[in-house]
Structure 1
Amino acid sequence: MSSLNADEWNARYPVGTRVVAYPFVRPEDPVAVAYRERAATGTLPPAWGSDPCRTLDTVTRSPAWALGDGTPVVQVKGESGGIALHHIDPVPADAEARPAA
């Protein structure tokens, strides 16, 4: 989870950096934890729909920038709009190569 601002991110991670992105919530978010617990026990209400913790193994497709409220975001392949940097995990360069989404 990144605590970098847009300029710090851009200095470390060029466009095309491999990342894991969580467009809605991170796996440790209480909403995601509750969803998985309910799904595992068969008590998931139908209204809850699909898992809110969608994970993308992808690459960045823009430099990071700050929204009007100051939240730093970046665009990734496979998702429209920007995703907050605290929902982006850079993949270490020495990690096992997998195709990006």
Structure 2
Amino acid sequence: MDAEQWNARYPVGTPVTAYPLTRPDDDHTGWPAERLETRTRSVAWNLGHGAPVVMVDGYAGGIALTHVDPAPAAAPASSSC
């Protein structure tokens, strides 16, 4: 997904799970994958080399969109009448 597509779907403030350095399933570096349960704090944009990134609460700088997963929509509340 590119930055324009991301911004059309996910507004600033969208809850996400972000993996700043590496995703757990892509870890070829030996570094542990850091997982942030957070929300976006910027629109997405493309870096000079074209990679789309977005900023999230709790992390300085942009994180590649390939390392950001929107949180699943909350289940509708059930009434307890």
TM range (shorter): 0.7 to 0.9
Percent identity over paired residues: 59
Structure 1 runs, 4 residues or longer, greater than 3 Å off: none
**Counterpart in the other structure of 2:62:** 82
1:94 Cα deviation (Å)? 1.9
Instruction: Kindly indicate which of the two structures has a greater share of residues assigned to helix.
Output: 1
Cα deviations by residue, 1:1-28 (Å, 9 ceiling, x for unpaired)? xxx1000000000000000000010010
8 Å CA contact 1:31–1:52 kept in 2: the answer is no
Please tell me whether Structure 1 or Structure 2 has the larger radius of gyration of its CA atoms. Answer: 1
RMSD: 1.4
1:84 Cα deviation (Å)? 0.2
When the two structures are aligned, how many residues end up with a matched partner? 75
**Counterpart in the other structure of 1:71:** 51
Unaligned 5+ segments in structure 2 are 76-81
For 2:38, which of 58, 69, 77 is the aligned residue? 58
Task: Name which structure has the greater RCO, CA cutoff 8 Å, separation 6+.
Answer: 1
1:81 Cα deviation (Å)? 0.3
